[in-house]
Chains A and B, each alone.
Chain A
Amino acid sequence: GNSVTQMEGPVTLSEEAFLTINCTYTATGYPSLFWYVQYPGEGLQLLLKATKADDKGSNKGFEATYRKETTSFHLEKGSVQVSDSAVYFCALSLNQFYFGTGTSLTVIP
C-alpha cells in the first residue's frame, strides 16, 4: 500500500541549529511528495513539494530532495529560527494524499 513514515518527535533545537526531519515513503506508483507545516492553532500550509525523482523542493530556507533509490524526502534547514516552531507533515500524493503522523519542532532562543 501507500504510506509515509516520519521520524518521531518532539524535536527541540537551539536557534541557528541545523534541522533534519526524516521522511520515508512506500508507494505503489510514482507519487509527488510534499512537506506541510502547521503552526499552533492553524491549518496545514504547503511548505514545499517535488513531483519527480531527484527534484529538490525549497521554500523559506527549507529544502527536501526526492530520492527514489532510498524512497526518502528528508526535510532540512541550515539555520532554524524560533518562528520555525511548528508541526511538520510529510505527505505523498497518488490517487489521494497520504500524510505522515507529523513531527513537532520547538526552537529555543
Chain B
Amino acid sequence: DAGVIQSPRHEVTEMGQEVTLRCKPISGHNSLFWYRQTMMRGLELLIYFNNNVPIDDSGMPEDRFSAKMPNASFSTLKIQPSEPRDSAVYFCASSPILPGPEYGYTFGSGTRLTVV
C-alpha cells in the first residue's frame, strides 16, 4: 500500500489567497483525520470523518477553514482567505475504524504551508 498520500508537500501562498490541501487515505480505512502542527501549539486535531461524514469539527479554528470528504478515497482541507498565522504543517491520517484500542493512525508526510 502506498500509505496516506498528501499533496502538495510544500505550499507557499500570499495572504488572502485560497489554499487547498489534499489527502488520499489508505484504501479500506474509513476514518480520516486532519491535524495541524506548529511549534507553539503542537499537534491539533482539526476535524475527523467516519465513512465520509464529518464527526467532529470542533478543532477547526474558524470559518475560514473547511474540509470535505466527497468519497472514501479523497479529502480536502481548504483555507479561504489564508492568513500568515495559518502557516504550519498540516497532516492527514487514516485508520480502519473509529479510534479504538487495537489500531493506530497512519499519517501522511504532511503539507508545509507558508502564508506570506
A99 contact from B43, B56, B108, B109, Cβ within 8 A? B43
Report B-chain residues with C-beta under 8 Å of the C-beta of A36.
Answer: 104, 107
How far is it, in angstroms, between the C-alpha of A55 and the C-alpha of B34 when the chains are bound?
A: 30
Q: Are B108 and A93 in contact (CB under 8 A)?
A: no
Report B-chain residues with C-beta under 8 Å of the C-beta of A42.
Answer: 109-110
Q: Are A43 and B45 in contact (CB under 8 A)?
A: no
Q: Are B104 and A49 in contact (CB under 8 A)?
A: yes
Q: Are B91 and A44 in contact (CB under 8 A)?
A: yes
Given A42-B109, A43-B109, CB of A96 within 8 Å of CB of B91: no
Q: How far is the CB of B55 from chain A (nearest CB, A)?
A: 9
Within 8 A of B (CB), among A42-69: 42-46, 49, 51-52
Q: Number of A interface residues at 8 Å Cβ cutoff, please give it.
A: 23
Q: Are B107 and A32 in contact (CB under 8 A)?
A: no
B74 at the interface (CB under 8 A from A): no
Given A44-B91, A99-B42, CB of A51 within 8 Å of CB of B109: no
Report A-chain residues with C-beta under 8 Å of the C-beta of B100.
Answer: 32, 93
B99 at the interface (CB under 8 A from A): yes
B63 at the interface (CB under 8 A from A): no
Given A96-B48, A101-B42, CB of A43 within 8 Å of CB of B99: no
Given A32-B101, A102-B43, CB of A43 within 8 Å of CB of B48: no
Q: How far is the CB of B107 from chain A (nearest CB, A)?
A: 4
Which B residues are within 8 Å of any A CB, using their own CB? 4, 33, 42-43, 45, 48, 56, 91, 93, 98-110
Taking A42-B110, A43-B109, A96-B48 as known contacts, 7 extra A-B pairs with beta carbons closer than 8 A to each other, sorted by chain A number, are A43-B93, A44-B91, A93-B101, A94-B99, A95-B98, A97-B99, A102-B42
5 nearest CB pairs, A to B: A43-B107, A32-B101, A46-B104, A44-B107, A101-B42
